């Protein structure tokens, strides 16, 4: 599906809605169907559904989602309920005018599709429109593959109805209904091999799947080397790749474990912060810095502040939090045993139009953190 910018999508859908929303609803009417697409496209389509519902004051909105079983983010129930909450909290729709129905599992693992209906009567729920057999009870082998990124400093991962969460929900669903199976996480590194990154990413995926009720003893991680040239991302060399395999217990693993290649020994920008990390991300950040300092004894970590002019006089609490972040992180590192001589600082004065950012840079001790990086 070709990407449509959110604003243009909203305008086009509103024009369509104006034509079809002049008379009150009577028979159930399917007004939209949306599957695996961008978060922006999702929000635009939810916007127009809310608009249609508010135009037709006699109608009740029905959200029916086909997707992974179970509860929580990325499941059929989770996506439907989050859409409803979004419409209530962000669009002002009366919650009594929205019904959520689980359409059952979809025909593909880790995929969800949502229908938006207008009902003339809240009890007049149309029968399930999409009919198929779910493979969740029988599927084996490679279920999914995706690129994963250690995105420190990224505070928005997309809403729970966007594609990123459905894969893990689908994996957990299959593990739940097939108890005699084992999950293999096959990890491959991208061009930039940051110390410990592939293991941290694998552990993050494992924790997320465990949080969905899968026992950790049923999950095995395999390091399968680096990506082949044709698979490497030119735009994002720090991407790693993960494959999800579900096989019967006792089966031969889907890939051989190989010895990780040495990490790439060059200065790198680990994270960029516009705000403050939460406690869980702080722990992950401390581990990432520790892994790098252990792998490269001649390296240090520096906190480089990109500081717009006049920011010192700002009264915004947000700015104070960001400016205080380097000292806060330095204290945490020292508490974890990092020698203060391996912790540095820097500053990049900028014009007023630039945002306030803290860059966390790992670099050789005898070099400036700015020598090798375009930050």
Tell me: pLDDT of 62 over 80. yes
Contact 147, 240 (CB under 8 A): yes
Collapse the DSSP code of 71 into the 3-class scheme (helix H, G, I; strand E, B; otherwise coil) and give the result. coil
Of 226, 230, 283, which Cα lies nearest the Cα of 258? 226
Percent of the chain with pLDDT over 90: 62
Q: What average pLDDT is seen over the chain?
A: 87
Please tell me the predicted confidence (pLDDT) of residue 312: 73
Lowest mean pLDDT among 6-10, 64-68, 195-199: 6-10
- Phi and psi (nearest 5°) for 212? -95, 10
Lowest mean pLDDT among 180-189, 230-239, 275-284, 359-368: 230-239
Percent of the chain with pLDDT over 70: 87
Element (H, E) at 28: none
For the stretch 212-271, pLDDT in tens is 999 999 999 999 999 876 565 556 667 899 999 999 999 999 999 999 988 989 999 999
Please tell me the predicted confidence (pLDDT) of residue 8: 53
Tell me: pLDDT of 22 over 60. no
Q: What is the DSSP code string of 276-318? A: ---HHHHHHHHHHHHHHHHH-TTEEEEEEEEEETTGGG---HH
Q: Could you tell me the CA-to-CA distances from 66 to 107, 111, 234 in Å, in that order?
A: 9, 8, 35
The pTM of this model reads 0.85
Higher pLDDT among residues 2 and 131, named by residue: 131
Please tell me the predicted confidence (pLDDT) of residue 26: 73
pLDDT bracket for residue 69 (50, 70, 90): very high
Of 221, 246, 241, 240, which Cα lies nearest the Cα of 145? 241
Query: Tokens standing for 51?
Result: 């608009």
Give CA–CA dist 169/100, Å, rounded: 19
Please tell me the predicted confidence (pLDDT) of residue 123: 84
pLDDT bracket for residue 124 (50, 70, 90): confident
Give the residue-averaged pLDDT of 157-175: 83
The pairing of strands 141-148 and 299-308 is unpaired
Please tell me the predicted confidence (pLDDT) of residue 231: 63
- Phi and psi (nearest 5°) for 270? -75, -40
Element (H, E) at 211: none
Q: Which alpha helices (H) appear in the chain, and where do they start and end? A: 6-20, 39-55, 76-91, 166-177, 197-210, 279-295, 317-335
Give CA–CA dist 65/70, Å, rounded: 13
Query: Beta strands of 26-167 (E only): which ranges?
Result: 29-34, 60-66, 98-104, 113-119, 141-148
Higher pLDDT among residues 197 and 264, named by residue: 197
pLDDT bracket for residue 311 (50, 70, 90): confident
Give the residue-averaged pLDDT of 171-187: 97
Higher pLDDT among residues 327 and 149, named by residue: 327
């Amino acid at each position: 599906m070709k990407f449509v910018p959110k604003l243009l999508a909203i305008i086009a859908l509103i024009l369509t809605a104006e034509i079809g929303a002049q008379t009150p609803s009577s028979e159930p009417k399917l007004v939209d169907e949306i599957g695996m697409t961008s978060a922006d496209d999702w929000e635009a389509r939810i916007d127009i559904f809310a608009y249609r519902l508010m135009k037709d004051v006699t109608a009740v909105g029905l959200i029916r989602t086909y997707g992974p079983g179970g509860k929580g983010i990325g499941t059929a129930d989770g996506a439907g309920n989050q859409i409803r909450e979004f419409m209530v909290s962000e669009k002002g729709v009366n919650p009594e005018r929205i019904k959520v129905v689980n359409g059952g599992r979809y025909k593909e693992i880790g995929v969800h599709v949502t229908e938006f209906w207008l009902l003339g009567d809240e009890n007049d729920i149309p029968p399930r429109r999409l009919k198929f057999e779910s493979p969740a009870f029988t599927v084996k082998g490679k279920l999914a593959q995706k690129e994963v990124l250690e995105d420190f400093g990224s505070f928005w991962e997309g809403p729970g109805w966007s594609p990123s969460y459905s894969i893990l929900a689908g994996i957990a669903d299959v593990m739940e209904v097939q108890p005699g199976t084992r999950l293999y996480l096959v990890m491959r590194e991208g061009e930039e091999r940051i110390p410990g990154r592939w293991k941290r990413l694998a552990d993050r995926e494992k924790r997320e799947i465990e949080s969905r009720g899968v026992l950790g003893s049923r999950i095995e991680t395999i390091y399968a080397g680096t990506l082949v040239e044709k698979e490497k991302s030119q735009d994002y060399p720090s991407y790693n790749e993960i494959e999800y395999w579900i096989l019967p217990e006792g089966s031969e693993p889907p890939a051989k474990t190989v010895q990780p290649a040495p990490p790439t020994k060059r200065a790198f920008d680990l994270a960029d912060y516009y705000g403050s990390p939460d406690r869980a991300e702080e722990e992950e950040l401390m581990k990432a810095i520790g892994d790098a300092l252990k792998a490269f004894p001649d390296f240090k970590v520096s906190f480089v502040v990109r500081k717009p002019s006049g920011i010192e006089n700002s009264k915004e609490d947000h700015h104070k939090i960001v400016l205080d972040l380097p000292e806060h992180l330095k204290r945490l590192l020292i508490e974890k045993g990092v020698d203060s001589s391996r912790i540095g600082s820097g500053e990049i004065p900028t014009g007023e139009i630039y945002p306030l950012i803290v860059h966390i840079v790992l670099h050789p001790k005898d070099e400036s953190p700015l020598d090798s990086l375009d930050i």
